[in-house]
Each structure stands twice: as C-alpha cells, then as structure tokens.
Structure 1
Amino acid sequence: MSHSPSSRLLNQKDKQRLTLLLCIILTFTVMNGTMFNVAIPDIAEEFNLLPSQVSWVMTGYILVFAIGSLMYGKLADFYPIKTLLTIGIILFASGAAIGLFSPNYGVLLSARILQAMGGATIPALAFIIPARFMPDERGKVFGIVSSTVAFASGLGPITGGLVGGAFDWRYLFILSVLSLIAIPFLRKWLPDEPQRKGTVDIPGALFIAVSVAGLLLFITSFSLLGLFAGTSAFSLFIWRMKTFHAPFIDPTMLKNKYYTTTIITSFFGTSAMFGMIFIVPIMARSVYDLNTVQIGLLLFPGAMAAGLIGQYGGKLVDRHGSYPILKAAFIMVMAGSTLISTFVGIPPVFMAACILVQYMAFPLIQSSTANLLTSLVPANQTGVGIGLFNLVNFLSGAISSAVFGALLDFSHIRFLINPFGITNDYAIYSNLFAGLVLLALIAVSVFTFVFRNKVKHLELQSQNL
C-alpha cells in the first residue's frame, strides 16, 4: 500500500502552512511537558503533598504520553490523520481547561492525564504527516519538526518560571487551551483520507501499555510491583505477537536489523540529549547557584541554535541522506559532552556555549533517524513504525533521568575520568558528561557497523544510475 497519491493533494503553499501549524501546536505540547517542572514546588505547597505524590504530575503525563504516541501511530495506519488530530487536540485542550480550575490534586492529576491522552497525537502524527503527504520533502520537514521539539524543550522551563512567578501555576494551562484554534485550519489543510481496512489488536495494545507503565513506574518510583507487572505483561505481549494473525506490532518489522538498529541508535542519542537537559539544571544550581529563570537562560541559546540548525539540517538530510548527518550529529554530541566535562566550573556564559554545541545535535539525530525509518518500513506500517520510534524516545528520557538522578547521589566523588578536567571540585558532573561521550561513541559505532554494507549498496546503485 502506498500513500504517495495523497501527497499530490497538497500544493506547496498548503505544505508550508501545514508545517507551520504543526510546529505551533507541537510547541504547545512539548512546552506542556517541560514547563510544569518548575511549578512542582508550588503545586506541592498548595495541595500539601509529599514529593512522591506531586511527582505524578510529571510521571503520569509521561506515562500516558509515551503509550499514546505508539497507540496513535498504529491507529494512523487505519484511520484518517485529520480525525485523530481533531480528537487529540480536543482532549488536550479539555484537560487544560479542567486543570486551569482544578480545586484539588485529584482533579489536577486527572486533567494532566486527559491532556496526555490527547497531546500524544501531536508528536506521533507530526512525524507521520511528512512521510505520508510530503514524501519529497520529508527530510526537510522532519528537520523543522525536530528543531521545534528541541526549541520548545528549552523554552518550556523559561515560560514556566516567568508565568508561574508572575501569576499562578494554573495559568500555564491557558497556552494548551489555545491549541483549539488550530483545529479548523488542520481540517482545511490536511487531505481527506479513506478509512483503511485493518485490525487493531486491542489485547496486544493493552499488554504493551502495561509493559511500558510498569517499566516507567519502576524507573521513576523503584516500584517492584511495577517491574513485576511490566515483565509479566511484556511476556504476554511476546506471546500475543507470535500467535495472533495481526499483532499490534508486526514481528517482521522488528526482525529488520536496519530498523531495529536505527531505533536503538535513536534511543541512545536521545538518552544523551535528555541526560544533558536533566543534568544541566542540577549542575547550574549546585555549581553556579542559579535560579530557575537563570537556568532556563543557560539552556536557551542551545535551544535557539537547535531550532535554527534543525531546519537547515533537514535540507541536508534530503540532499545527502540520513547516514552522514546522523554520524555528524553524534560527533557533535561527543564534542559538546567533552567540552562540558572538561570545563565544568567556568563562568556560566562560557558554559552556555559548550551546552550549545551538544544541543544542536538533538534535531539532527531526530530528523535523520525519522527519515531513515520511513524508508525502512512498508508504507502501510509507517504509523506504527514512527509510533514505536516516539515511544522509545520517550522511554529514553525517563530512563536517562532516573539513571543520572541515581548517579548524582554520588556527589562526594573527587576522581576525574576526564584527564583534561580543570577541577575535581565538581567531578560528578564532569564524569557524567564523560559517560555521555562513551554512550554516543558506542551508539554511532554500532550504527556504522550494521549499516556498512547497506551504505555501500546504495552508493553502488547511485553510481550505476
């Protein structure tokens, strides 16, 4: 099955309008996931909550968001994207409206989960739309979408700090309610699609949902019950995948070593980026004694640079292919991590420049791996292929935050792994970024090894044309 005929329904002007609109609503969604980080202390104080209780404002959102990204990706293989996005934005804005007037913590938590149920449609489908309706420019649009994610992730904490500090944390929900404005434009600019025949494996979807939920619960709360439930559900999911005629995830897709390697590479690359974003605020408070807004400003130049390079990087992917761009992005991750590891303790303005180098790699990794994935899976499996890609990326953020959070407990360490580190006063931060260098090196080495023959084959093909 091919979706290319649908792409002819979009002229160049509609493509540009649709891309801009996607980026605007994607900004609201990504910011919604990060700007509430700075409001956590205020929410805990207002509702008299323990840290373990208030953490569910973020954990519950991430949990539903991660599962939803895979679910909507699968549904997009059968149902019109226009319909899914409309339902998703309505749920997202409805959750925000409830959160804006939440009288107690139970209502607030329900509002955040409703938001996640709807908001998950946006990043899931933002990567599918270019593959389906703009195949000739998908690398360019992937770059723009990825740069938007990187930019919004840096803008979120600043917005949260400014709005929460000047008004009240509830006002953060207003930005999400405004996403309703996008619905009539999306319904006008997105092509009509017929509902395609297919079966949605509901039991398989539930098994993978419980698997992910259990894993995230174990990572964020060290819940042994969550680990047991997740492991049991994953075993049932494997059984279902082997025995059902139309499983939620086609096992033949996972047997494709190029697809699986690309997913794993994206996981490690995104882990390195989320690890940096998680470590830097803690490092900024510990080393430089910066407040919330100042921490946001420390990340902001990198977020701006990522937003700019992502758009140009997408064009490079279309022109030169995903392989060289992905390798260049990992080199930037290693360079940025090395700089931060070496110069921890220098004035914040110079540290912002070091962070900028690594931050710019994020949209390049996202756009090149997304572009590569769409060329590796059949057209009728693009939705679930990208959905699994999104799920793995969200998991990487949760896992890297939990792992680095645990490692930060060893703040008394004075031994420097990096021989060029300028001081061992902040050895724990230097060592963590040295670890990110190693993580990126392993990821790009495995990717290069697996794809070596495929790249040679493509080069020979191009020479014969």
Structure 2
Amino acid sequence: MSLDENLVKLRLVPLLSMTIFISVLNGVMFNVAIPDIAAHYHISPGLVSWVITAYVVIFAFGSVVYVRLADRFAIRNIITFGLTLFCIGSLLGFFSSSFAMLIVARVVQAAGASGVPALGMLLATVYVPHHLRGATLGVIASTVALSSGVGPIVGGFLAGSFDWNYLFLVPLLLLPIMPLLRHYLPLDEAQQKKPFDLRGALYLCVAVASLLTALTQFLWLFLAPAILSALLFRWHIRRAPFPFISTQLLQRPAYRGTIAAVFLVMSTVFGMLFAMPMLLRHLHDLPTFSIGIFLFPAAMCAALAGWLFGKIADRRGPTFVVAAGHGALMLGFSLLAITAGTSALISAACLVIAHSGFAMVHSSLAASVSNTLPRELTGMGMGVFNLVFFISGAFGTALTGITLEQLQVSSHQSFSILFGGLTVVAMLALFVFSRACRQGSC
C-alpha cells in the first residue's frame, strides 16, 4: 500500500522529521552531561557510562523488535505505544532520585524511542511511493545529521543553564505531535498475524546486549555469552516455523554484502564522530562548548547534503549516491589525516566533507538495502539494517577509543594514523558494496 503523494510531502515527512529529531537529540545530548551526572551521584566514569551504554543496547535491539511487530499490528498503534513509553521514561528520569532509577528511566526511554527511526525507515521503504523514496530517506538522514550536531549544544545549554535532569523534559515536546502523527499514519488492515518468535528474540537480545557491553565497556568476558547466544539464535531460526529473522533474508548474497558494507562504513563514521572532539580538545585545547560550535557547521552541511542527494537518488539511483558518499568520506578522512594538528578551522572544514559523505551514504544505503529484497522481506530487512547500524556505531567508537589509547592521544601523528586507517576501511566498504551490487539489484 502506497500513501498519497501530498500526504507524504506535506504531513508525514514534516511530522516524522520532528519526531526523529527529538529521538536522536535525546540520545546525543546526554553525552555532554555525563561528567555532571557522575559528580551528582559520586560514581566512577566506568559506572556512569551505563547511562549511554544501557540506552544504546536497548535501542539497538528495539529497532528490530518494532519492525517485527509491524507484521502483526498497525504501524500507527506501534509508534503511538513507543512514543508514549518514551515520554514515560522521560518523566521517570526527570524525577529520578537515585542512579539505579536513572538507568531504569534510560532503559524505558530507549525501549520507546527505538521504534522511531526503525519505523521511519519502514515507512519510507514500504509505504512511500517509489519516486519519493530517495527524497524521504534523504530527509531522514538530514534530520539525523542535524540532530547529532545540535545535540551537544542543546545538552550543554540545558545542563549548564538549569541542571542535567532537565534534559529529560525535551522528549515531552513530542506530546502535541503524537495525535497528529497517529492521524496521518497508515492503518494497514491486512496485517499477517504471524506468531512472535519470543525465543529467537531473547537469543538475539542476549547476543546484542553482550556484544555491545563487551565493545563499549571493554569487558571482553561478555564475548562468551555473545557468541553462545548468536550460535543458539542461528540454530533456532533454522528450525522455527516463524523465525524472528527469516533465513531467506540471510541467504540473499546481495543483502548480506550490502549489510556488511553498512557495518564497515558506519564503523568509520562513528569512529570519526568520536575522534573529532578528542582531536579538538587534545590538539587545540578547546573547551566543551567551543568544540560543539566547531562541529556544528559540519552537521548543518550534512543535513543539506542528505536532503539534496536524497533527491538525486530518486533520479540517478541510490548506487550512484552511495559511491559519491564513500568518495566524500575517503576525501574527508584523507584530509583529516594530512592536516591533523595544523588548525582547528582546517579540521572543521575537512569534517564538513566527511560528515556530508555520511549523510549521503546513510540515506542511500537504506534504499539500496530495500532494493535487494522482495516486498515481504523489506520490513524485516530494514530492522536488521538498523540493528547493524547501531552495532557498528558501538564497534567503531570502541575501536577508535582503543586505537587512541594505545597511541599518544596528544600527538597529531596518532590522529593521522587513525584517519588514515578509517580511509582504508571506507575503501573496503565501497569495494564490498560494489561487489554486492553485482550480485543483485541495489
């Protein structure tokens, strides 16, 4: 079922963009408040990092669960439930009186918010008319890029002007949007009432949670339950009549290759986003607010690039835009490697190129993934796309942190080596994507 073109352009896309903006903003702006939260509860950096880790783990898993639930329930009911849960978690966080309650609030927040980008991708790839698909995905990518850039500034302002717990009030801005979004979202009556594979979901949840905990907290003992749960999940989906993730999906070479490319290229992007504040702090001695100001132009340009190249993808196809985005990423990484330590302004200018490449790749890779799948597997395929997206973020961030920890973080040669490595990985991602496209339609 395709939605009316005017409904998509004038109603759904603006409302969905505002919802995604607040959802992503909530995930990003807490980064700047971590030192304040640690000081408030008198806890160690390792313990306070669970404010971020718990959110990421639940968010990653929830992105698959919501898409699978869309096979059974109307999408408007699912997203209403998720946004309601998101707001409840926000209220819990605002009134939290202990660190344990704060973590519970973040888990509830993530359980609700994780449905927003996942269902947004599902809407864009299944319900939006094909000739508007690239533009819609471009707007989503632009929104994610813009919100990621604005997040540290908004978080720094609220935490500095009021207190860190006021960050929890931002998601309540969704309350007036919820009834409008519910009104315009499709009510698909032809839902397939397939049983929900709870055992498969639990196996995958343990595997994802253990893997992300190992990567983000450097607790390598968690790799054992991650591997065991992944093996049990693989064994289970081959035997279950209605598996949580269909084996038909994983047997498609073009899809597997495209997902591998997603993992590789998004690992480099998240590594870059983690490394840039470190570079500006350690090489140029900039304070937190100034770092946010230097990063903001790149986020704005990325938002513009995502919107512009989303429209180009509708005319030239997503494969062209993905290749161009990889080219921009490789150029930006190479320039960052060459100019590391010379000037903060030069580094910020190089980041504009790389961050714009991220917006181009993000929107068009989603379209490419959907193009490799038949209609009945698209929803599930986009759920796995979102899952891999967040896992790659944790992997890229952790690997970048380990690299900078092993090297001398105050040396510009360390960042040159890091960005040189990211350039090579981006080249590998482009090769994997090109090979996948030769195996099927991208």
Tell me, yes or no, if structure 1 residue 401 matches structure 2 residue 397.
yes
1:332 is matched with which residue: 328, 335, 353?
A: 328
Within 2, Cα distance between the matches of 1:246 and 1:154? 40
Unaligned runs of 5+ in 1: 1-5, 415-424, 459-465
Tell me, yes or no, if structure 1 residue 79 matches structure 2 residue 65.
no
Assess if the C-alpha contact under 8 Å between 2:126 and 2:379 holds in 1.
no
- Residue in 1 that maps onto 2:205: 209
| Aligned ranges 1:32-431 → 2 under 5 Å | 32-136=26-130, 137-194=132-189, 195-412=191-408, 425-431=411-417
The structural deviation recorded for 1:243 is: 1.1
Amino acid at match of 1:37: N
Within 1, Cα distance between the matches of 2:198 and 2:228? 17
Give CA deviations for 1:332-356 in whole Å, capped at 9, x if unaligned.
Answer: 0000001111001222222211100
TM-score (norm 1): 0.92
Assess if the C-alpha contact under 8 Å between 1:158 and 1:296 holds in 2.
yes
The RMSD of aligned alpha carbons is 1.5
Structure 1 range deviating more: 107-116 or 12-21: 12-21
- Residue in 2 that maps onto 1:23: 17
Amino acid at match of 2:290: Q
- Residue in 2 that maps onto 1:463: none
Within 2, Cα distance between the matches of 1:403 and 1:126? 29
Corresponding residue SS for 2:362 = helix
Assess if the C-alpha contact under 8 Å between 2:138 and 2:311 holds in 1.
yes
Amino acid at match of 1:129: L
- Residue in 1 that maps onto 2:418: 432
Unaligned runs of 5+ in 2: none
Assess if the C-alpha contact under 8 Å between 2:257 and 2:435 holds in 1.
no
Within 2, Cα distance between the matches of 1:412 and 1:370? 37
- In 2 relative to 1, CA 374–413 (structure 1 residues): closer, same or farther, beyond 3 Å? closer
- In 2 relative to 1, CA 225–413 (structure 1 residues): closer, same or farther, beyond 3 Å? closer
Give CA deviations for 1:410-437 in whole Å, capped at 9, x if unaligned.
Answer: 33399xxxxxxxxxx4111111000010
Structure 1 range deviating more: 246-255 or 443-452: 443-452
The structural deviation recorded for 1:74 is: 1.3
Within 2, Cα distance between the matches of 1:224 and 1:328? 37
Assess if the C-alpha contact under 8 Å between 2:284 and 2:344 holds in 1.
yes
Assess if the C-alpha contact under 8 Å between 1:93 and 1:178 holds in 2.
no
Corresponding residue SS for 1:395 = helix
Instruction: Give identity over the alignment, percent.
Output: 39
The structural deviation recorded for 1:132 is: 2.3
Larger Rg belongs to = 1
The structural deviation recorded for 1:138 is: 0.9
Within 1, Cα distance between the matches of 2:439 and 2:285? 50
Assess if the C-alpha contact under 8 Å between 1:73 and 1:385 holds in 2.
no
Count of aligned pairs between the two proteins: 440
Structure 1 range deviating more: 233-242 or 116-125: 233-242
Corresponding residue SS for 2:397 = helix
Within 2, Cα distance between the matches of 1:453 and 1:235? 27
Corresponding residue SS for 1:247 = coil
The structural deviation recorded for 1:453 is: 5.9
Corresponding residue SS for 1:339 = helix
Query: Runs of 4 or more off by more than 4 Å in structure 1?
Result: none
Assess if the C-alpha contact under 8 Å between 2:264 and 2:425 holds in 1.
yes
| Aligned ranges 1:441-456 → 2 under 5 Å | 441-452=427-438, 454=440
Amino acid at match of 2:193: K
Structure 1 range deviating more: 213-222 or 55-64: 213-222
The structural deviation recorded for 1:454 is: 4.5
Give CA deviations for 1:245-280 in whole Å, capped at 9, x if unaligned.
Answer: 211111111111111111111111111111110000
